[in-house]
A and B are shown apart, each in its own frame.
Chain A
Amino acid sequence: MSLPSQLDQVFVLLQHWVAGLFPVWLQPFVATVLAVVGIVASFPAIFAVTTVLERKGLGRIQNRLGPNRVGPLGILQPVADGIKSLTKEDIVPFTADGLVHFLAPVVLVVAVFLGFAVLPIGRNMVLANMDAGLLFFFAIGASTELSVFMAGWSSRNKYSLLGAMRAVAQMISYEVPLLLSATVIVMMTGSLSTVKIVEAQGGFTGFLPHWYVFTPWGFAGFVLFVIAALAETNRSPFDLPEGESELVAGYFTEYSGFKFALFFLGEYLGMFSIAGFAITLFLGGWGAPFSFLGFVPSWGWFFLKLLGAIALFIWLRGTLPRLRQDQLMNFAWKFMLPMTLLNLVVAGAWRFMGEGPFGGVTRWLVCSAVLLAAYVLLGRVLMRHQKLGPRSYRYAE
């Protein structure tokens, strides 16, 4: 094997080598455990790096330095945070439902980790190559709502419950556009397997890759998917369930110490997994962005893209103010849903125009025009009744 391909497969080879030390009947088990350990170790490490990057990035966006006290340039801040959250007192409210209160963060983290099982991190690097990997991911992703509601309900706290209600309403509303925007990919690939989806985007025209984001329906799908993913992970500007100015901390108001840290971890891991899926579905997964960059290991590309996605999420968080509940719901049902449905139609048209005489440039123009026109029109209609400007208060003065 040549050096680049050895480097590409370094983790796979390592796994095989370690598993080879065990008796044959144990080997599949050991290999799986090794892969799980890899996932459970690497993504929380990225979480630690992300917390400090996010705080520093948000600081820079607000013309501050961000954390700069622990270690050089503050890069050891996650260590300090970790020690702090581990040594803090774990307070459970007197009237809380102890068992559910304890289970909620565990359920969240477990569900989020399960989502990584079907995520192709590199060539031959997927824990479970399921035929219905995408379906599995969305099913598991939806179960995080359960833990959120468990946390909110068991805390016996009005803020927690309000936060949980908001979270459930928001997650269910945005689950629909999230799924529909991903359905386009399934239609085009003809498979629910994440590995097959990445492989389908593997080709190059000249030096440009065949990523789905470089098609009209793929681009629209990507934008819609990212918006829905932001809402699904409770990230700003969709952070209503934990809006600190309204609900203290939302559904995890009554959590402290390590359980709070688990919620925090679960939230960020959820963001990574959904960003990983956005990459898998639209950005070519672990594929290189240019044909001449193929020598870089595939997992390197995946993590680079993941860092890019995280940076985008941080950038958006630093820019956008929080939506109001009605704006959130209006946006989900009046904009996201029609756009995703239209995108399905456009993707179908793209598929069949490619076979007919309207292939090439024509289908590009037609599909782009339809999507753009719908976007502009929907925007106009939605903004028509918007009264922007200072609010007037009739009763409170």
Chain B
Amino acid sequence: MLGEGILKGLGETAKNFAASFVSKDRLTTIQYPEERAPVIENTRDFPFLVYDGEDKMAGLRCVACQICEKECPPKCIYIVKSTDKKPDYVGKPQIYPARFDIDISVCMSCQICVEVCPFEAIKMDTEFELSTTDRFGGLLYDRDQLARSNQHYHKIHPTEAAEVDARLAEEKAKSEAKAKAAAEAAALKAAAAAAAPKPTPAPAPAPVSVKEPTA
């Protein structure tokens, strides 16, 4: 009959109205500033720069290769390369970013910078309470503001960070082994050269030149 559905619907909403006073389970809203929903692991919003160790600037993984700057679709990354070099995690001297700015008012959280970074240096943060009274300067983050420790990365994305750490450790071990092998080969060669009567000049030691690993 006409109107039956309306009465049924009215009954349903009346039930909701009355029951919401009785059962707390019905109220699904989280009262935000006081309560917080747990952040899920895949949350992401804006990028940050990972550093190892204690010193922000010394441990920065970024080598200022500018791939992210070029790939960034809204062009919110600005990098100035350094003129000097500092050792990276393997110990190889690398250029580092003298300036690394991200305008988070432009960033669209696409994560492309993270995907293209060959050095695991840029990752996505989960911090979302970023409101500021200065909409220009306040939303332009520099190197210092962007740097976050590896421990922070482990805290917000544990699985991903563990994978990254394993990969980096593997690479480091590989490069150490390679360096060791090269050193051994060079030593052997040198020994052979020393033993041999031919007066050939000693070849330059293998392409990987740095042998002393500094972690």
Give the B-binding residues of A (Cβ under 8 A).
Answer: 57, 60-65, 68, 315-316, 318-320, 335, 375-376, 378-380, 382-383
Contacts and interface: CB of A to CB of B under 8 A. Distances in A.
Given A61-B17, A315-B10, A335-B2, 4 more contacts: A64-B27, A65-B31, A319-B9, A382-B2
A375 B16 contact: no
Interface residues of B, number: 18
Interface of A is mostly: helix
Contacts of A378: 2
B17 A65 contact: no
A28 B10 CA distance: 48
B26 A376 contact: no
Interface of B, secondary structure class, is: helix
Contacts of A380: 2
Give the top 9 A-B pairs by smallest Cβ distance, nearest first: A379-B2, A319-B13, A63-B26, A61-B13, A60-B17, A319-B9, A60-B20, A318-B13, A61-B17
B29 A65 contact: yes
Contact of B29 (A61, A64, A382): A64
A318 B1 CA distance: 22
B6 to A, nearest CB: 7
Given A375-B2, A376-B1, A63 B9 contact: no
A65 B30 CA distance: 10
Interface in B182-209: none
A60 B6 contact: no
B10 A60 contact: no
B214 interface: no
8 contacts: A60-B20, A68-B31, A315-B17, A318-B17, A319-B12, A375-B2, A376-B1, A378-B2
A376 B1 CA distance: 7
B136 interface: no
B3 interface: yes
A60 B28 CA distance: 11
Contacts of B2: 335, 375-376, 378-380, 382-383
Contact of B27 (A65, A315, A316, A319): A65
Interface centre among B6, B14, B16, B26 (most CB of A within 10 A): B16
Contacts of A63: 16, 20, 26-28
Interface string B25-64: 0111101000000000000000000000000000000000
B7 to A, nearest CB: 10
Q: Taking each of A62, A375, A382, A383, which has the highest tally of chain B beta carbons within 10 Å of its own beta carbon?
A: A62
